[in-house]
Amino acid sequence: MEQQTFLVEIGTEELPPKALRTLAESFAANMVDSLNAAELPYGDLTWFASPRRLAIKVSALAAQQADKIVEKRGPAVQAAFDADGNPTKAAEGWARSNGITVAEAGRIATDKGEWLLHKAEVKGQSAAELLPQMVSDALAKLPIPKPMRWGAYDTQFIRPVQTVTLMLGEHLLPATTLGKASGNTLLGHRFMGEQVLTIEHAEQYPTLLEEQGKVIADYERRKAKIVADIQAAAAEIGGHADLDDELLEEVTSLVEWPVVLTASFEEKFLAVPAEALVYTMKGDQKYFPVYDAEGKLLPKFIFVSNLESKDPAVVIAGNEKVVRPRLADAEFFFETDKKQTLESLLPRLETVLFQKQLGTLKDKTDRIQALAEHIAGLIGADRAHAARAGQLSKCDLMTNMVFEFTDTQGIMGMHYARHDGEAEAVAIALNEQYQPRFAGDELPSSGVAQALAIADKMDSLVGIFGIGQPPKADKDPFALRRAAIGILRIAVEKALPLDLFDLAAFSYSLFAEQEKLDADGKKGAEICNQVVDFMLGRFRAWYQEEGFPADVIQAVLAVRPTRPVDFDRRVKAVQHFRSLDAAEALAAANKRVGNILAKVEGPIADQVDAALLQDDAEKVLADIVAQVAAKVEPMFAAGDYQNALLALADLREPVDAFFEAVMVNAEDPALRANRQALLKQLRQLFMQVADISLLQQ
């Protein structure tokens, strides 16, 4: 079958840099779906993206769909003919719709009878006929939250479209896409090379653009070149660059012909905390900071230009001129802020609302202070330092530096606390209170910092749940999901002896004292349980990402352990138990026991009456349940769930023998009740770890 290369390029005004990769990958994924649905075989599909274009190149694309035979079943033979053997109207109508007579129809026999059948040959369509609509459909499905219109067109897209090119081999496909007729014109770089190019064959893409138009359309190659050139430039000045991937992505999406240059700033600015300088260089100017071997910021930065200048020194000087006022601002804010202590800013927190019903930042600070001190006592950290850190936790939000550079919150609190002579543990806690900021981020390093971080997050969780505004679907304005997973990570990975319900209850009591939430104990318990359930729900996603099966996680969730460290031990123990030979039989037995007990009306006795044990199998089971219970009790107390489940695995044979030989629901009420009590004891042993009846084998 003939094969050709297909190219589609959509030339636009500058596309939003932070969305460029997503748009390109989505365009490619949509085209893959369309090609597969159309059953058009192809070799490789490659996407391209630059600030002014989205493109896809498909190699070895079949020129036409394969012909195929389609079977069209008609009415059953019994319904297709009347008593005299003449075709019914239903049969004739079906035959006409297929362009045949009833006599020409075939037949197919099935288990349910015989049916009329027509085998129709469907000719495959050419790729040239199919591709324009595929492209239009793929573009229509792009994730564009706010499409725009331009000129007098009704067409909508993320940015105004300048050119559209659809080529199959050397042939230009006649099509109108996004209001533009397909042409063989490509737009080169705005300022270099040929600004308008003519492409004559799809195979020329993207080489033609690069050689004549000064555009590197291959996104990944452009990014790799930027990385390599930045690393070389940093090495040349004896340092290493901060190759932040998010910034790299943005810069790659901003340039079509990357040229890496190195510039400097005055050394006096290094007196300002490096984080503030880095924030303005990366966030505002899209520059890459440079550090020495010890990790100290150098008075240098690397930037990526979008053109080759005849006089690079002028470009460098221009960027140095642009960044200087921003660094000067940071210097001014830092020096001004140091003239007052963090503690002196506490009254100003009363002027800022945290949440209308929950009060000001000062109210939140007071709650965090008390909760952090309480948590510090639970985990063996310095209570006084935790309380002080809680008191100062939000003061840096009132500083000039944080007001101007919001991402430096916490960081500047640490620097200002050190300047004020606060304890180092307090200063570090002010910075680490927001950790982990994102998935995989570092956790607070000290007990004081951990207490503060947990207190801040728990206060938000309890407060927002308390006013009835929990996260819904994709809406989570207070980032409560991130707060919940942050608490869980700190508690589990730092092995902190904390109970989620107890923390929530203490936090709720602080809201009640401030009269922000209802002081009714029943209402408080309800809110705390909602918070705990929400947090335990975060465990599901966490452990699934780590590769734990959903049934293992669900088995532990079923018993609702509220201590994160305890939850972690149970999940790992059940995962190990699941691999044992006895697991399947015991899971099935537990399910059977659960079903039996669920049907029992009224209470079930806690103790087994040995005098009522009749069958040898139930005597053996009762004896071994008692032995195993005594053996695993200290294991449960120590949280050694893995060895406890290993011990419980020894129950497999006596449990199997019991169900084979013993009728639980005996006619004698006393006998029946005693056997139910025995099964209750058996199930309770397992339920002290998890509900293993939920395990799927």
Sign of the C-alpha dihedral, residues 393, 396, 402, 403? positive
Separation of alpha carbons 491 and 535, rounded Å: 12
Average pLDDT, integer, range 479-498: 96
pLDDT tens figures, 277-323? 999 999 889 999 999 999 999 999 999 999 999 999 999 999 999 99
Q: At what angle do helices 583-598 and 669-687 cross, to 10 degrees?
A: 130
Separation of alpha carbons 174 and 536, rounded Å: 57
Separation of alpha carbons 173 and 171, rounded Å: 6
pLDDT at residue 567, as a whole number: 95
Whether residue 485 is predicted with pLDDT greater than 80 in this model: the reply is: yes
Average pLDDT, integer, range 251-261: 97
pLDDT at residue 565, as a whole number: 96
Q: Compute the C-alpha angle 403/409/411, nearest 5°.
A: 130
Whether residue 1 is predicted with pLDDT greater than 60 in this model: the reply is: no
Whether residue 593 is predicted with pLDDT greater than 90 in this model: the reply is: no
Whether residue 20 is predicted with pLDDT greater than 70 in this model: the reply is: yes
Average pLDDT, integer, range 409-430: 96
The strand pairing partners of 126, in sequence order, are 64
pLDDT tens figures, 64-81? 877 777 778 788 877 778
Q: Lowest mean pLDDT of 110-124, 211-225, 231-245, 420-434, name the range.
A: 110-124
pLDDT at residue 676, as a whole number: 84
Rounded alpha-carbon distances, angstroms, from residue 643 to 336, 445, 650, 679:
61, 31, 11, 22
Average pLDDT, integer, range 489-504: 96
Which tokens is 68 given?
């195929």
CB neighbourhood size of 486 (10 A): 25
Is 393 in contact with 413 (CB distance < 8 Å)?
Answer: yes
pLDDT at residue 66, as a whole number: 78
Dihedrals φ, ψ of 67, to 5°?
-65, 150
pLDDT tens figures, 636-673? 899 999 998 888 888 888 888 888 887 878 888 888 88
pLDDT at residue 102, as a whole number: 75
pLDDT at residue 389, as a whole number: 97
pLDDT tens figures, 599-645? 878 888 888 878 888 888 888 888 888 998 899 899 989 999 999 88
pLDDT tens figures, 508-547? 999 999 999 988 888 999 999 999 999 999 999 899 999 9
Instruction: Give percent of the chain above pLDDT 70.
Output: 100
pLDDT tens figures, 107-145? 877 777 787 878 777 777 888 999 999 999 999 999 998
Average pLDDT, integer, range 392-416: 94
Average pLDDT, integer, range 578-594: 82
Average pLDDT, the chain: 91
Is 164 in contact with 136 (CB distance < 8 Å)?
Answer: no
Could you tell me which residues come within 8 angstroms of residue 487 by beta carbon, excluding any fewer than 6 positions away? 454, 457, 458, 461, 500, 535, 564
Instruction: Give percent of the chain above pLDDT 90.
Output: 67
pLDDT at residue 152, as a whole number: 76
Residue 595: pLDDT band with limits 50, 70, 90: confident
pLDDT tens figures, 135-172? 999 999 999 988 988 877 788 999 999 999 999 999 99
